[in-house]
Chains A and B, each alone.
Chain A
């Protein structure tokens, strides 16, 4: 059975070949204005336009990760070398990061991650649900402040505030994009 995930063709998430939604463009602009020079990611459909914008930007080094905690360690190294980094992942990857986040708190490294939520709204896959429920509590337990974005209109302002708090306030920040805002995942049979 060949089943392939395709982002929604309309609504808040544009199709794979079309332009980013306005809020995604704004989030990208905010991260560029915050002087982010490295971006790492484990792919997620909800982040696909943001990933594409970064990959098209010659100023930003993008790194595809084999597991999310690599992006935490990468951010530490970037800061040691004088650069700012952002990690893009989905909620199922947050659990992978937990021990590595000790590094960020112990050394007071700035840390900014944008997390697309799965398993919390119109989710068809039960395997996404437990980590979705655990995402905010485990971040908070390991010392990462959580901000949630429920509406597209708030996305850029929230990411801007989180980036300032992370890179200027030397804090650890996770911005969670709600699944309701991102839209229901659509599956297309080939």
Chain B
């Protein structure tokens, strides 16, 4: 089996990405990426979306503008990013150096019955991102995930984009906090932001 057919296991990938995270703050797209992030260890610098499909990259952009010295990661799925394809152009045009977008790409809509997504039908998201102006690549092996981890921990050198080819196996859910107001307050408190 070649490296590209031996797809990575999503929980292992996200655990690796979150190792020694330092100042990194993370926006997780709805569904499985949020479960993966939570399963890797809850953190006050995590914000888990339970809706707002297609908006994760733009939330990351607004956050990256407001926190320029801090690395920001948008961790999302292929379906979520496909709904916000235009935001790849919007983000790339702004060139936020401290923003990385990592798409856990299993080629399917895992939350709704494993229907094939566009990436499962042959569309390459990282090439679309590259065309928009991201430093973009596809990751297929764990040692590349470790290299990516060191890059996303930097607040300079972006915007970066990576798809990570993961297997479409069913993974048990790991449910984070769903209360958006609580999450927002926890996140802002972690960043030391005073109440308005």
Residues of A within 8 A of B (CB): 37-38, 61, 63-67, 69-83, 85, 99-100, 102-103, 106-110, 167-168, 170
- In the docked arrangement, what's the CA distance between A85 and B49, Å? 20
Stretch of B9-17, B121-129, B152-160, B176-184 lying at the A interface: B176-184
- In the docked arrangement, what's the CA distance between A102 and B49, Å? 11
Least CB distance from B186 to A in Å reads: 10
Contact yes or no, A82 B62, CB < 8 A: no
Q: Judge if B32 is at the interface, Cβ distance under 8 Å.
A: no
7 smallest CB-CB distances across A and B, nearest first, come from A81-B66, A77-B62, A66-B86, A107-B180, A73-B55, A73-B58, A78-B62
Interface residues of B in 37-60 (CB under 8 A from A): 47, 49-60
Residues of B within 8 A of A (CB): 27, 47, 49-67, 84, 86-87, 89-90, 93-94, 180-181, 183-184, 187-188, 191, 193, 196
Whether A80 touches B47, Cβ cut-off 8 Å, given contacts A74-B62, A168-B196, is yes
Our pick among A71, A75, A82, A109 for the contact of B67 (Cβ within 8 Å) is: A82
Given contact pairs A67-B86, A69-B54, A83-B65, a sample of 9 additional A-B residue pairs in the complex whose CB atoms are under 8 Å apart? A38-B66, A65-B90, A69-B55, A70-B86, A75-B62, A77-B59, A78-B63, A81-B67, A106-B50
Q: Report 30 cross-chain contacts, Cβ distance below 8 Å, ordered by A residue.
A: A63-B61, A66-B86, A69-B54, A69-B55, A70-B55, A70-B87, A73-B52, A73-B55, A73-B87, A74-B59, A76-B52, A76-B62, A77-B58, A77-B64, A77-B66, A78-B63, A79-B62, A80-B62, A80-B66, A80-B188, A81-B66, A82-B191, A99-B51, A99-B52, A99-B53, A100-B52, A103-B52, A103-B55, A168-B196, A170-B196
Whether A78 touches B90, Cβ cut-off 8 Å, given contacts A102-B51, A107-B181, A170-B196, is no
- In the docked arrangement, what's the CA distance between A74 and B62, Å? 5
Contact yes or no, A78 B65, CB < 8 A: yes
Smallest Cβ-Cβ distance to B52: which chain A residue: A103
Please report whether the interface of chain B is mostly helix, strand, loop or mixed according to DSSP.
helix
Our pick among B54, B61, B183 for the contact of A77 (Cβ within 8 Å) is: B61
CB-based A-B contact count at 8 angstroms: 120
Whether A82 touches B188, Cβ cut-off 8 Å, given contacts A63-B94, A77-B27, A107-B180, is yes
Least CB distance from B48 to A in Å reads: 11
Our pick among B55, B87, B181, B184 for the contact of A80 (Cβ within 8 Å) is: B184
Contact yes or no, A76 B59, CB < 8 A: yes
Least CB distance from B158 to A in Å reads: 15
Smallest Cβ-Cβ distance to A170: which chain B residue: B196
Contacts of A76 in B (CB 8 A): 52, 55, 59, 62
Contacts of A72 in B (CB 8 A): 55
Least CB distance from A132 to B in Å reads: 23
Contact yes or no, A106 B180, CB < 8 A: yes
Least CB distance from A115 to B in Å reads: 19
Contacts of A168 in B (CB 8 A): 196
Least CB distance from A96 to B in Å reads: 10
Contact yes or no, B90 A70, CB < 8 A: yes
Least CB distance from B69 to A in Å reads: 11
